[in-house]
Every structure is written in structure tokens, then in C-alpha cells.
């Protein structure tokens, strides 16, 4: 088993950004992924590259395998990282009592320390993180800035403390 904590990384609102204006647009570029335009943050990519030496990265996104298929070529982020699968379930099909990603995260993580970066946490996520026996950090992002310097610093400190 790896000594590194897991890093569950969402894409939309973390790497693929929106809601910023032209004046305060973060570093990045527009790209088409399966015909859908995305603004991909190069700052988030730089942070993921740095963090990948301290974490075992897992894509935790509705993109599922598309994250590893597209993001390494578009942003230079690590290739060959696992992704969670959500069995084709839509948000409407899953329990209203918990975030739709929790079951897949729990199954993959087991009792390992983990950090999860996402823009869509709800009360169930915070309660789940609080109840875990293993060290757990949730890092909420703003979809206009994503995985920014402050979020990366929190993740880095957590990785150091978890080893």
C-alpha cells in the first residue's frame, strides 16, 4: 500500500473553470472535449503536477475515464491515473441524503487518508469527512478560480501532515 494519501480531484469547477470575467480570467486556454468547450486552468494543472508527488491522484468527476483520456494531453497532468465510476447514475437517481460521489469515494479509499477537491460539496460531504477515522480534508473551490494557490497550499500541508 502506498504511503501517500489519496487526492480525489473533480474537473468541472476545479480544472475546467467558468464564471470569471475577461478582466480577471485565470491562466488557461479554451479546449473542446467531446465537442463541449471548456476553459482549462493551467494554474490548476501546475498545482496537480506538484501535488502528484505527494498524493496518489484519482479522478473524481462525472467525466470518469474521459479525464485521463483528455486532460494529460491538454494540460500535461499525470497520465494513467485511476478514475471513479458512478455506474451511469445521474444526480437525480442517487440518494438525496448524500452527495452522489460519496459511495464511490468510500469504496476506493477504504481507510486511507484522503483529500477531496471539488466545487460542489454539501452537508453530507462535510458530515462524512468529519466521521471518517482516517485523516480527511475537503477543499472547496470557486468555479471561477478552481484549484488556486490557496487550495494547493492547503492540500500540500495536509499531505505533509498525513505522512
Band the pLDDT of 96: cuts 50, 70, 90: very low
pLDDT number for residue 91: 55
**Domain 6-162 of CATH type 1.10.3470:** no
Tens digit of pLDDT for each residue in 33-46? Answer: 999 999 999 999 99
Q: How far is CA 13 from the centre of its chain?
A: 9
Prediction pTM value: 0.92
Domain boundaries, the chain: 6-162
Amino acid at each position: 500500500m502506498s504511503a501517500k494519501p489519496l487526492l480525489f480531484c473533480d474537473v468541472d469547477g476545479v480544472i475546467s473553470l467558468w464564471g470569471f470575467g475577461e478582466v480577471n480570467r485565470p491562466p488557461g486556454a479554451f479546449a473542446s472535449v467531446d465537442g463541449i468547450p471548456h476553459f482549462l486552468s493551467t494554474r490548476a494543472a501546475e498545482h496537480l503536477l506538484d501535488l502528484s508527488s505527494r498524493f496518489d491522484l484519482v479522478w473524481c468527476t462525472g467525466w470518469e475515464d474521459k479525464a485521463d483520456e483528455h486532460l494529460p494531453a491538454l494540460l500535461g497532468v499525470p497520465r494513467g491515473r485511476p478514475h471513479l465510476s458512478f455506474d451511469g447514475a445521474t444526480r437525480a437517481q442517487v440518494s438525496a441524503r448524500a452527495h452522489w460521489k460519496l459511495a464511490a469515494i468510500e469504496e476506493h479509499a477504504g481507510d486511507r487518508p484522503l483529500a477531496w477537491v471539488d466545487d460542489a460539496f454539501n452537508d453530507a460531504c462535510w458530515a462524512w469527512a468529519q466521521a471518517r477515522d482516517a485523516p480527511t480534508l475537503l477543499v472547496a473551490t470557486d468555479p471561477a478560480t478552481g484549484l488556486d494557490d490557496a487550495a494547493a497550499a492547503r492540500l500540500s500541508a495536509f499531505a505533509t501532515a498525513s505522512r
